[in-house]
């Protein structure tokens, strides 16, 4: 048995998402780029590479990882490039997308040899959280003034518009895209490509993939552009679990089980967005599953189990691929989960283990 804690990535489950992506791209003509900020666990890339067009990034390191570990088409985006980064970024990128006109102008000479794009902020989004809302008040994420953009349009060949967030509602997507077409369509007509970003939950159950494909195709034809999508979560949803072991059981008026992991360190987004973890379990024996850091609120959630839990029992926490491994940290010095890949033939392979040396090296 592999020592817990570990993230267990199921390649067969990734492949199921890849087949949906491929179907969408074939039917629409769109190209799909993996958004590395959501998932950068490159030991799983071999099962994704044949089905996606490449990667997109939010920093120099993501960009380089995409170029070196995924290959294919590599888009470079960053909220702000530094003077010390730009030449290296351009050397890896097929397209570079600037967040502002200011950055586009600042790095005009350095980026002259590759295709350039600009991030467009449409002023609308589907995010319910201010923290993750690119269209929040005074947002720094992209340009929104069509007149200002038009003045520099000869310097770019495309736009990136990222405004969806786990949007599983096709009709909402359709309405918002229509609104964006009305306000920015005259700009789209002047470029060769438009990336509609990530956040469309089209690999979710029951999503009308064919309708989305038709909508994207119509968009591409209307403006004469190559459409890109940048699925992060949709690429890896429901593919990975966090495997943990019960270390202690308490009863403080409520049954608690402490496991060899930490929400704060290993699934931080649950705390940030105040969501309980998900677990495929049910039954009459209720426990609150808690992390082993000393943070009082380090709690995965309350779950029912078919039998009483015992020290040494293994528990599997669902949906541990997106925005988890990219945010894992050394809080409390809790052992970082290993990364395990379940290959297509069912064998489980430890791709990476972390130890004290990694912890120590993160400080000096
Ligand atoms: C976060 C992000 C994505 C991926 O979003 P998902 O919700 O994970 O699909 C894609 N593009 C950009 C620009 C992003 O910031």
Bridge partner residues of 75 (DSSP): 56, 95
Spacing, Cα 232 to ligand 1 middle (Å): 6
Condensed to tens digits (0 to 9), the pLDDT of residues 151-181 reads: 999 999 999 999 999 999 999 999 999 999 9
264 ligand 1 Cβ < 6 A = no
315 ligand 1 Cβ < 6 A = no
Q: Pick left, alpha or beta for residue 153 (phi over 0 → left; psi -120 to 50 → alpha; otherwise beta).
A: alpha
Spacing, Cα 231 to ligand 1 middle (Å): 6
The ligand 1 atom at the shortest distance from the C-alpha of residue 231 is: 9
Q: Name the least confident of 24-33, 125-134, 202-211, 268-277.
A: 125-134
Structure confidence at residue 70 (pLDDT)? 98
Does the N-terminal peptide bond of residue 5 adopt cis geometry, omega within 30 degrees of 0? yes
The ligand 1 atom at the shortest distance from the C-alpha of residue 235 is: 9
Does the pLDDT of residue 220 top 90, yes or no? yes
Spacing, Cα 233 to ligand 1 middle (Å): 8
CA dist., res. 207 & res. 29, Å (int)? 19
CA–CA distances in Å: residue 274 to residues 138, 184, 318, 324: 24, 35, 16, 14
Structure confidence at residue 201 (pLDDT)? 98
Spacing, Cα 83 to ligand 1 middle (Å): 25
Mean pLDDT of the chain: 98
Structure confidence at residue 128 (pLDDT)? 83
Bridge partner residues of 79 (DSSP): none
CA dist., res. 190 & res. 348, Å (int)? 50
35 ligand 1 Cβ < 6 A = yes
Does the pLDDT of residue 276 top 90, yes or no? yes
Question: Token pair of 350, please?
Answer: 């430890």
Condensed to tens digits (0 to 9), the pLDDT of residues 287-339 reads: 999 999 999 999 999 999 999 999 999 999 999 999 999 999 999 999 999 99
117 ligand 1 Cβ < 6 A = no
Total-model pTM: 0.97
Bridge partner residues of 120 (DSSP): 143
199 ligand 1 Cβ < 6 A = yes
Asked if 193 and 225 touch (Cβ cutoff 8 Å), the reply is: yes
86 ligand 1 Cβ < 6 A = no
- The sign of the CA dihedral 148, 30, 129, 48 is negative
The ligand 1 atom at the shortest distance from the C-alpha of residue 37 is: 1
**Could you give phi then psi for residue 265, rounded to 5 degrees?**
-90, -30
Q: Which of 197, 207, 233, 273 to mutate to test the pocket of ligand 1 (most atoms within 8 A of CB)?
A: 197
Does the pLDDT of residue 356 top 90, yes or no? yes
Structure confidence at residue 6 (pLDDT)? 98
Q: Which of 24, 38, 140 to mutate to test the pocket of ligand 1 (most atoms within 8 A of CB)?
A: 38
Question: Token pair of 357, please?
Answer: 């040396």
134 ligand 1 Cβ < 6 A = no
CA dist., res. 310 & res. 299, Å (int)? 18
Spacing, Cα 53 to ligand 1 middle (Å): 16
Helix (H, G, I), strand (E, B) or coil at 119: strand
Integer-rounded Cα Rg, in Å, for the chain is 22
Condensed to tens digits (0 to 9), the pLDDT of residues 118-152 reads: 999 999 999 888 999 999 999 999 999 999 999 99
328 ligand 1 Cβ < 6 A = no
Q: Considering only CA atoms, which residue is closest to atom 5 of ligand 1? A: 198
142 ligand 1 Cβ < 6 A = no
């Amino acid at each position: 048995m592999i020592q817990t804690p570990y993230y267990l990535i199921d390649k067969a489950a990734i492949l199921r998402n890849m087949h949906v992506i491929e179907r969408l791209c074939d039917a629409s003509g769109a190209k799909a780029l993996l958004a590395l900020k959501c998932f950068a666990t490159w030991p799983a890339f071999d099962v994704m590479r044949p089905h996606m067009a490449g990667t997109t990034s939010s920093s120099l390191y993501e960009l380089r990882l995409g170029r070196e570990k995924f290959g294919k088409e590599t888009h470079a985006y960053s909220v702000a490039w530094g003077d010390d980064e730009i030449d290296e970024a351009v050397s890896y990128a097929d397209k570079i997308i600037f967040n502002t006109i200011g950055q586009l102008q600042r790095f005009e000479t350095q980026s002259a040899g590759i295709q350039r794009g600009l991030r467009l902020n449409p002023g609308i989004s589907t995010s319910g959280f201010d923290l993750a809302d690119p269209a929040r008040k005074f947002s720094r994420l992209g340009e929104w003034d069509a007149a200002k953009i038009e003045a520099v349009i000869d310097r770019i060949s495309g736009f990136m518009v990222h405004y969806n967030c786990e949007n599983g509602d096709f009709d909402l997507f359709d309405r918002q895209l229509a609104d964006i077409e009305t306000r920015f369509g005259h700009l789209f007509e002047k470029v060769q490509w438009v990336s509609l970003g990530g956040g469309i939950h089209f690999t979710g159950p029951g999503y009308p993939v064919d309708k989305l494909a038709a909508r994207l195709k119509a968009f591409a034809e209307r403006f004469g552009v190559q459409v890109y999508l940048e699925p992060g979560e949709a690429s890896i949803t429901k593919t990975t679990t966090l495997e943990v072991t019960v270390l202690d059981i308490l009863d403080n008026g409520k049954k608690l089980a402490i496991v060899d992991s930490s929400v704060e360190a290993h699934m931080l987004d649950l705390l940030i967005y105040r969501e309980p973890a998900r677990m495929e379990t049910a039954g009459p024996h209720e426990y609150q599953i808690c992390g082993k850091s000393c943070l009082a609120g380090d709690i995965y959630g309350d779950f029912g189990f078919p039998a009483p839990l015992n020290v040494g029992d293994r528990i599997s926490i669902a949906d541990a691929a997106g925005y988890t491994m990219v945010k894992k940290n050394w809080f409390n010095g809790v052992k970082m989960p290993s990364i395990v890949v379940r290959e297509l033939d069912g064998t489980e392979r430890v791709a990476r283990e972390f130890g004290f040396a990694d912890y120590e090296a993160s400080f000096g």
